[in-house]
Structures are given as C-alpha cells and as structure tokens.
Amino acid sequence: MKLLLARAEKLVLAAAVVALVAFALVRAVGAQGPGARISMISDWSHRHVVFSQPASWTMAWKLQGKPRYWQQVLRRTGRGRVPAEPELERWRFGFSGFDWHPPQREEPLERDWGESLGAGGTTGVPLNGVNWYPVFPAKYSFNVTAAPSCGNDFVVFPTNLAGVTGGQASIIGYNNLYAGTGAPLCGAVNPSIYWSYNTNFNAAGAATTGTVATSPVISLDGSKLAFVETRTTGSILHLLKWHALDGGAIGTAVAPKAATVWTADGAAAHCPTTGACMISLAFNGAQSDTGSSPFYDYLRDALYVGDDNGVLHKFINVFGVSGTMPSEVLTGNWPITVDTGTIVTSPTVDSVSGNIFLADSGGKLSYVRETFSTAGTCAAGAVPCLGSTAIVPAAAQ
C-alpha cells in the first residue's frame, strides 16, 4: 500500500510539474490557451547564453519568465508539447530542477542545401581589408508543438553586399527549408526565397553603401528583425518588419517603407498595417561596427551592440513591445565606453547577474552593469556603468 501510494504521489507531482512547465512555456512565448502554438528562435546569441539546471524551486520559478531559458529547454529536449501520461516517467524533478529525457535515437545524415547570396561573394565575406568575425543566420520555427512548417518556418541571411532596389539584396529570407533530393518534406530540391530587401537607407531615407556584415536577430513572434549596416561613416541599426513574397529573388530586392515608429495608422512616418517597413537608427558617435552583432533582451525590448571605438550602445522599444518609437539611449551614462580605440565584440546579457559581458580587439574581457544588475561594482560612478574588473588573458598581455 505504501509503495502504491508513493508511486501515485510521484505521478501527481510529475503531472503538476508538467502542467507548470506547460503554463510557463505558453506564458514565456506569449501564446494563448491550451495547445497554443509555441515558436522558437535560433540565432547567434542562443549559442552564447547557456543556463545550468535550476538548483532549487525558487530558481526554477524565477526562470519561468525568461524566454531564452525556455528556448533552451525546447532545443535540448526537442519537444514543445506536454507529454502524455505514459511519458511522465521520463520527467524528473527535484531540487536539482526538472528535465525531460526523450528516448535516444539516431538521426540519419542529410545532405545540406546551398544557395547563392549574390554575385561577388568573394568580396562580400569577409570585407576586404577588414577583420572578420563569425556570422550566423537566424531561424524562426513557427510551431515546435507540430510538424515543421514549410511555409512559416524561415531563415534569414545577411549577404554582406550592398543592396540595390530591383537588384542585389542586402538581407534575404528563405522558407521551404526542409528541401532536398529524394522525397523531402517540402517537396522541393531547394528552399524558396521568402522575401528579399535592399536595406541600404539611413533614417532620412537617403541611400547608403554599407553592408550587413554581422548576425541578425529575430523578434519572439518572428515578425521583425534587427541587424546592423556596417559603414565607415557610422553604422546603422535597422529594424525591419518583413512582408512575405516581397522581392522574390536575390536579384530583384525591394525597398521597405521608411518609418520612425511602429504605430500602424497610415501616417507618413508610421509602419503600415500590411506590407514591410524599416526603422533606421544611426549609432551615436558615427562609428563603424565590424565585429559586434546585436543582442536582444526579450524581457525589456532592449538591444545592445558595440562599435569599433570601444563603445557599447543601448537601444529601447526595439520591436514595439514596450513602446512605439525605437531610439538609442543617450542618458544615464549611455552609451558606455568599454575600451577606447578597440573593436567591441558581440555583447551578451547575463539574466542572472544582470551584467553585460563583452570582449574587444585589445584582448580584454569586460562587463557592464545595467540598472537591473545584482552583482559587481562600478569602475566609477553609479549604474549603468563599466564594471570595476576587466580580464586580460595572458596571451593578450
């Protein structure tokens, strides 16, 4: 009787934990109701933020509201749905946290597909005479609780070539990703171009000549992108709301409508309800950015990115979650100088300490304290500030 009761209690606890996990997943990604769609983002930043197993109920509860944590859970388990009752035995929960252990299986190797990003690729990546940093595409998975979607799953590639309206795209999206030889899921040998844009414009709508040389990031709902146009005369943060089938080919790119706010009411500077638009924000200080990809903070609708003069920039209301007008923060010590005269690498926000970690071409690893930082001390002044400690590896000294 005691053994049966213990097993029953275990199943009840497991079921409660599963329900809590499901609720948190839905809440974290903004889905609504039972069986709601759960999307997943894969970009450069998810390779740089890794959560350890929660060590207590308190920590597990705190992690519920962190989308990057749930994205990691989904990627590791390969599952987006709550397990059926017979699967409960695969769930474990204790003070070390919870985890779902799927049955082991071997995946057959598949041949990768390849697509040209445009003529002149030998001069596109890397830029001639410029130090090159790794660049990653960004993928949006429409619903991880269902079969992969040929129409709605897409991947975004920067071309590192200057865009031309009616010609070369500066950034491009592909869908029908699950293509290939034989009998592929999407019934095609190669993926399809979902949209292609010339994004070479400044805030005033004038043409520019830079390239998208670093990695893009995608909003949690997949409707918008953020990426940097690298220019020697000052880089530009582009915020793009894309529209399916715009452009149609790598060599027939279209120009999105120039906008300054996300409000969609038809005003000249507003984003249209349907169709594409782009908000362009020049970096304060007119510095180039050749090594720093933007890092997006899902919880605060903020974005951090560095430049080639050792400065870290902060932008707010980026995707219109917290406000309608994106802008760079120029108050409260922002932008923050990390290491003057160096190329700053991609920043990473640590959601536990609230600090922003980044390196630079001078060989230093530094951190910046934000207003929500809970660890460290300022080198000078009050938060936000540069942290008091910088690490210089022996090889760089």
Reading the chain (397 residues) residue by residue, the pLDDT tens digits are: 333 333 333 333 333 333 344 444 444 444 334 457 889 999 999 988 888 888 888 887 888 788 899 888 888 776 544 334 333 333 333 333 444 444 443 444 455 677 788 876 544 444 455 566 789 999 999 998 899 999 999 999 999 999 999 999 999 999 999 998 888 999 999 999 999 999 999 999 999 999 999 999 999 999 999 999 999 999 999 999 999 999 999 999 999 999 999 998 878 899 998 899 999 999 999 999 999 999 999 999 999 999 999 999 999 999 999 999 999 999 999 999 999 999 999 999 998 899 999 999 999 999 999 999 999 999 999 999 999 999 887 654 4
Which alpha helices (DSSP H) does 108-233 contain, by range? 121-124
Measured in Å, how far apart are the chain's first and last C-alpha atoms?
A: 68
Output phi, psi for 394, to 5 deg: -55, -40
- Residue 39 CA to chain centroid, in angstroms? 13
The one-character DSSP state at 164 is: -
Confidence at residue 130, expressed as pLDDT on a 0 to 100 scale: 53
Q: Using an 8 Å Cβ cutoff, are 227 and 240 in contact?
A: yes
- CA distances, 284 to each of 119, 307, 396 (Å): 33, 10, 29
Helix (H) or strand (E) holding 195, with range, is strand 192-197
Its pTM stands at: 0.83
Which strand (E) or helix (H) includes residue 9? Answer: helix 2-29
Query: Kind of pairing, strands 257-259 and 277-282?
Result: parallel
Structure confidence at residue 129 (pLDDT): 53
CA–CA separation, 19 vs 377, rounded Å? 40
Strand pairing partners for 226? 217, 239
Structure tokens, 366 = 């530094």
